[in-house]
Structure 1
Amino acid sequence: MTDPPGRVELVERVDELDRVVGVVERGEAVRRGWLHRVATTVCRDAGGRVLVHRRADGLARFPGQYNWLVGGAVDVGETWEEAAGRELAEELGVRVDVRFAFKFLCRGAISPYWLGVHEAVVAEELSPAPAEIAWHGWVSEGELGEMTRQLAFVPDGVEALRRYRSETVADEPA
């Protein structure tokens, strides 16, 4: 999510073990390469399709690129799940339960951060924020893979997709 003019977004600066070491402005954390937390969600419909969206052209980070994750920075004092749910409400206009799947230290295309990946089933109609999302659609797993090879995807999202696939395969019963 982008900050409205005049709003300073504060985040918890964390270390390589995801322990809080202070509170900083998010822009400064990005500029200085300080670790902080970003919560994202994989949205699926009742049929298991994955939501993909194209980021709005006016965004500061990755304008016009595609992503399969919806999310943003974890605010000071927020849990991973609270942040993921807030971001879904802000960006897609939906309030749904999210389930924490895993987190990893993402080196990031712009700066490093801890990325928390959540999952949610979204049955209600989406109302995407136009300042955030220019297009969205539901795709199969196979279509998602094709899209990541053919379209300009947020690089951190592509890395998260590789990890997500290995994590979810590892979690399935044998």
Structure 2
Amino acid sequence: MSTQQETELLAVYDADRRVIGQADRGTVYREGLWHASAGVLVRSNDGRRIYVHRRTDSKLVFAGMHDCLAGGVVDAGEVPAAAAIRELREELGIELPAGTVLPVLGTVSWDGEWAGTPMRCHLFVYEVRSDGPFRHQPSEIADGWWWTDAELRAHLDDPSWPFVPDTRVLLADLLIDDA
């Protein structure tokens, strides 16, 4: 972890999703403190496809795994909705008009483990419709592509497919059953 990443201040939450303070990223990760992340599910304008991507191998958490949320941690003093819009712009290059309010799809609290350390995170999920074009942030996203809900569900049905665990917990309820 770089010094800048280590000292970046994150919002610290309690188990009930209330902000209770702030701490640097290194402390949050080392001590397994509750924190929050915000993610945006990108659906095509016609609603038939989801943008899926593979995280870079250099990511601090869930390196090289697949995800379908553009997202990241909520900084100190930031609300999840603002973090979602910021991450969408940073990771995929999607600029939303000022005042845009993204629809909330759900929230899940994930109390797990990553690399032998407790990981406790509240994930706030939003949705946006866009056909791109996308501009991947090279340090965050290695590759990206479109899949239907059925294609994504088929991959998620394989527990060995490397997909970020917090998104996996919530995603099954968000996918459309293709007929």
Decide whether aligned partners of structure 1 residues 109 and 141 sit closer, same or farther in structure 2, where only a CA change above 3 A counts: farther
> Aligned in 2, Cα 1:85/1:50: closer, same or farther, shift over 3 Å?
same
Say whether 1:160 aligns with 2:158: no
Q: State TM-score, norm by structure 1.
A: 0.85
Cα distance in 2 for residues equivalent to 1:143 and 1:39: 24
Secondary structure of the structure 1 residue equivalent to 2:95: coil
- In the alignment, residue 56 of structure 1 is paired with which amino acid? T
Q: For residue 172 of structure 1, what is the aligned residue in structure 2?
A: none
1:87 aligns with 2:91: no
Cα distance in 2 for residues equivalent to 1:50 and 1:152: 17
Helix, strand or coil: the match of 1:75?
coil
- SS for the counterpart of 2:124 is strand
- SS state of the match for residue 144, structure 1? helix
Q: CA deviation at 1:60?
A: 2.1
Q: Which residue of structure 2 aligns with residue 23 of structure 1?
A: 22
Letter paired with 1:158: R
Instruction: Output the amino acid matched with 1:6.
Output: Q
Question: For 1:33 and 1:144, how far apart are their aligned partners in 2?
Answer: 30
Q: Which amino acid aligns with 2:92?
A: L
Which ranges of structure 1 fall in alignment gaps of 5 or more residues? 170-174
Q: Could you say if the C-alpha distance between residues 9 and 153 of structure 1 is closer, same or farther in structure 2, counting changes exceeding 3 Å?
A: same
CA RMSD, 1 decimal: 2.1
Output the CA distance in 1 between the equivalents of 2:82 and 2:172. 25
Measure, in 2, the Cα distance between the counterparts of 1:80 and 1:42.
14
Residue 34 of structure 1 aligns to a residue whose secondary structure is coil
Q: Which protein has the bigger strand share?
A: 2
Structure 2 unaligned segments of length 5 or more: list them.
none
Distance 1:141 1:125 in 2: 20
- Counterpart of 1:113 in structure 2 is 121
1:4-23: CA deviations, max 9, x gaps?
65352211111122222111
Q: Detail structure 1 runs of 4+ shifted over 3 Å in the superposition.
A: none
TM-score (norm 2): 0.83
2:4 aligned residue: 6
Greater fraction of residues in helix:
1
Identity of aligned residues (%): 33
After superposition, the Cα gap between the structure-2 partners of 1:71 and 1:108, relative to the gap in structure 1 and judged at 3 Å, is: farther
- Cα deviation, 1:139-163, whole Å, max 9, x if unaligned, reads 1000001122353211222112134
Residue matched to 1:140: 148
Cα pair 1:102 1:116 within 8 Å, conserved = yes
User: 1:92-145 CA deviation, whole Å, 9 max, x = no partner?
Assistant: 111134222221211134201111011111233100111111110111000001
